[in-house]
């Protein structure tokens, strides 16, 4: 299957996040993902876009978030690019450690990393942060053929 | 997201349905819990059975509600988190913070 691609450019407005989430789930379905994994992709991309809007662009609506979603026969890839000053994704505190569990923010990157196979952060001075998420469809579970069952 | 509140004895059971996400469900949840606390309710049970998923903002609001209630001497407990919500509570280790119940009578009797 040739890759199917969707490109979007959003203002930095969190009310638009649902649009990207829905598109990401659709792309995951095109790549053959089941409902649960499609939702995982949707949540991961959603979190990357929220990060881009809030932490990248500082919720400045004049700054844009660029999104490219790509589906092949078994893989979904998402690129989310902001126009902000960049941030160190490894500098965020582990939200599952000690008292951090009761923090009211800081779980976005945890969710992204949990729900896709690969996450790359690339920052270029003056060009914003670009986050790439990749998830490959899990191998189908082998069908159990019961003795005497009809094919 | 939609909420309805029922009183079971002294416990305010909040039935939630939909998703708890940024700019929508998180605000609804915050306002509802604040309203209950302002009315003097201290025993709050959030029924998550019909919540399909949460994002980081929704999870953060759940934690904020827990803390806000605790500051006022109250308790927020959780009832029947669905598959994805359960996954998220486990992943974030909030499963170990909240008291979580599968059975409503058991939950309401636990306060």
Question: Pick from B23, B60, B96: which is nearest to A107 by CB?
Answer: B60
Residue-wise pLDDT for A27-38, tens only, equals: 999 999 999 999
The tally of domains found in chain A comes to 1
Question: Whole-number mean pLDDT of chain A?
Answer: 91
Residue A11: which CATH number? 3.30.565.10
**Distance separating alpha carbons of residues A134 and A33, to the nearest angstrom:** 13
Complex ipTM value: 0.92
The Cα-based distances of B71 to A11, B42, B74, B79 in angstroms read: 37, 10, 7, 21
Residue-wise pLDDT for B58-72, tens only, equals: 999 999 999 999 999
**Planar angle of CA A110, A90, A11, nearest 5 degrees:** 70
| Domain of residue A31, residue span | 4-136
- Give percent above pLDDT 90 in chain A: 79
Closest CA to B64 of A72, A37, A107: A107
Burial B9-40 (b: 16+ CB within 10 A, else e): eebbbbbbeebbbbebbbebbeebbeebbeee
Domain boundaries, given as residue ranges, for chain B: 2-106
- Can you spell out the DSSP letters for B29-92? HHHHHHHHHHTT--EEEEEEEEEEEE-HHHHHHHHHHHHHHHHTT-EEEEE---HHHHHHHHHT
A129 domain-assigned: yes
Contact: B60, A43; criterion CB under 8 Å? no
Contact: B93, A101; criterion CB under 8 Å? yes
Residues of A with CB under 8 A from a CB of B: 14-15, 17-18, 36, 39, 43, 46-47, 50, 95-96, 101-108, 110-111, 114
Residues of chain A positioned with their CB less than 8 A from the CB of B64: 104
Residue-wise pLDDT for A31-89, tens only, equals: 999 999 999 999 999 999 999 999 999 999 999 999 999 999 999 999 999 999 887 77
A149 domain-assigned: no
A28 domain-assigned: yes
**Planar angle of CA A86, B89, A59, nearest 5 degrees:** 30
The CATH number that domain B2-106 falls under is 3.30.750.24
Residue of A nearest to B59 (CA): A104
- pLDDT beyond 60 at A148: no
Burial class (CB in 10 A: 0-12, 13-18, 19+), B107: buried
**How many CA atoms, within 13 angstroms, populate the side-chain half-sphere of residue B29?**
33
A143 domain-assigned: no
Contact: B56, A50; criterion CB under 8 Å? yes
Residues of chain A positioned with their CB less than 8 A from the CB of B67: 102, 104
Asked whether the beta carbons of B85 and B48 are under 8 A apart, the reply is yes
Range 39-78 of B in CB contact (< 8 A) with A: 53, 55-57, 59-61, 63-64, 66-67
């Amino acid at each position: 299957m040739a890759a199917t691609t969707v490109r979007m450019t959003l203002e930095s407005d969190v009310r638009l996040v649902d649009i990207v989430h829905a598109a990401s789930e659709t792309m995951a379905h095109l790549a053959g993902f089941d409902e649960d994994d499609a939702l995982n992709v949707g949540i991961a991309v959603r979190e990357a876009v929220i990060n881009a809007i809030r932490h990248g662009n500082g919720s400045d609506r004049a700054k844009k978030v660029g999104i490219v979603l790509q589906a092949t026969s078994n893989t979904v890839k998402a690129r989310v690019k902001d126009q902000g000053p960049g941030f160190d994704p490894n500098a965020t505190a582990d939200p599952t450690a000690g008292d951090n569990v009761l923090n009211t923010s800081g779980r976005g990157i945890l969710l992204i990393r949990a729900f896709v196979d690969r996450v790359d952060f690339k920052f270029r001075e003056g060009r914003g942060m670009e986050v790439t998420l990749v998830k490959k469809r899990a191998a189908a579970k082998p069908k159990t053929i019961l003795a005497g069952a009809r094919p | 997201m939609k909420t309805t509140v029922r009183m079971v004895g002294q416990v305010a059971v909040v039935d939630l349905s939909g998703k708890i996400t940024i700019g929508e469900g998180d605000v609804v949840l915050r306002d509802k819990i604040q309203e209950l606390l302002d009315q003097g309710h201290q025993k709050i049970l959030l029924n998550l059975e019909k919540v399909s998923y949460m994002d980081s903002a929704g999870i953060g609001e759940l934690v904020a509600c827990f803390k806000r209630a605790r500051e006022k001497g109250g308790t927020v407990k959780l009832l029947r988190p669905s598959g994805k919500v359960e996954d998220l509570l486990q992943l974030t280790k909030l499963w170990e913070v909240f008291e979580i119940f599968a059975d409503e009578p058991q939950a309401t009797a636990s306060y």
